[in-house]
Amino acid sequence: MFKPTTALLTVILLACAGCQAIPTTPQWDARFGAATRAAFAQQVLNPDAARARTSVDGIDGASAALAQQRYRKSFAEPPAPAVFTIGVSGTK
């Protein structure tokens, strides 16, 4: 006697066996992330910069800290409205 569960199991096993014959997955896995790694490597200006013991170009730390404080302080209060405008009435 042939049971429906046996037939279903046979179909599932045959489908799984058919999926094993597809050879594209190992090829895709071998190159997985290659485009991302290449794009990241192209964005590096100087790969040996971490080993160099030269000082960086720019401003010193104290000046940078003061500039950052001024930048943050500029957002603490809303900007003052324009006091004198020509041709625009402020009344309703």
Give the C-alpha separation, 22 to 38, whole Å.
28
For the stretch 2-34, pLDDT in tens is 677 888 888 888 877 766 666 666 677 778 899
pTM value? 0.33
- Taking alpha carbons only, the member of 59, 17, 1 closest to residue 9 is 17
User: Minimum mean pLDDT among 15-19, 38-42, 78-82: which range?
Assistant: 15-19
Average pLDDT value for the chain: 81
Count of Cβ atoms closer than 10 Å to residue 56 Cβ: 7
Question: Does residue 37 or residue 15 have the better pLDDT?
Answer: 37
Given pLDDT bands bounded at 50, 70 and 90, which one contains residue 1? low
The pLDDT of residue 90 is: 59
Residue 39 in this model has a pLDDT that exceeds 90:
yes
- Bigger pLDDT: 38 or 77? 38
Q: Residues 67, 59: contact at Cβ < 8 Å?
A: yes
